[in-house]
């Protein structure tokens, strides 16, 4: 099993550009989440999903969209990138009541 995979590993965007961060898991987990990691702030939840076709907002959803058309994939879209979105993004998946498995992260810089 590959576990949770994320692409790309690194990305540089200009302000106003859009892009999609990819996340996939092969463990048949129902739950998937996106977090951003910023120094001194820990990880904050952006969006999450409890199953295909079901998504909801987390703590910091503004500027991001998600969809969950399959159990395996949970892409995160930045609609119009801003410097405040410079961060490391982690995708995670889990089954109910079990631990969350994290992807390797995407380091995004917005100039």
Partner 1 sequence: AQRVTQPEKLLSVFKGAPVELKCNYSYSGSPELFWYVQYSRQRLQLLLRHISRESIKGFTADLNKGETSFHLKKPFAQEEDSAMYYCALDNQGGKLIFGQGTELSVKP
Please report, as ranges, the residues that interact with partner 1 according to CB under 8 A: 4, 30-33, 35, 40-45, 48-50, 58, 90, 92, 94, 96, 99-100, 102-105
Does the N-terminal peptide bond of residue 8 adopt cis geometry, omega within 30 degrees of 0?
yes
With respect to partner 1, which residue has the nearer C-beta, 14 or 42? 42
Taking the complex as a whole, how short is the minimal distance between the CB of residue 31 and partner 1, in angstroms? Answer: 3
Q: How far is the CB of 110 from partner 1 (least distance, A)?
A: 21
Specify the DSSP class assigned to residue 58: -
The position carrying tokens 């959803």 is 61
Task: Confirm if 48 and 31 have CB atoms less than 8 A apart.
Answer: yes
The rounded distance, in Å, linking the Cα atoms of 71 and 105 is 20
Closest CB to partner 1 among 16 and 51?
Answer: 51
């Amino acid at each position: 099993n590959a576990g949770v995979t994320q692409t790309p590993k690194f990305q540089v965007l200009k302000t106003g550009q859009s892009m999609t961060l990819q996340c996939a898991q092969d463990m048949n987990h129902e739950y998937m989440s996106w977090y951003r990691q910023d120094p001194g702030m820990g990880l904050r939840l952006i969006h999450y999903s409890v199953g295909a076709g079901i998504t909801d907002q987390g703590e910091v959803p503004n500027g991001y969209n998600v969809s969950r058309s399959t159990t395996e994939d949970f892409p995160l879209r930045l609609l119009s990138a801003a410097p405040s979105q410079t961060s490391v993004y982690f995708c995670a998946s889990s089954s109910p009541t079990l631990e969350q498995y994290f992807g390797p992260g995407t380091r995004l810089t917005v100039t």
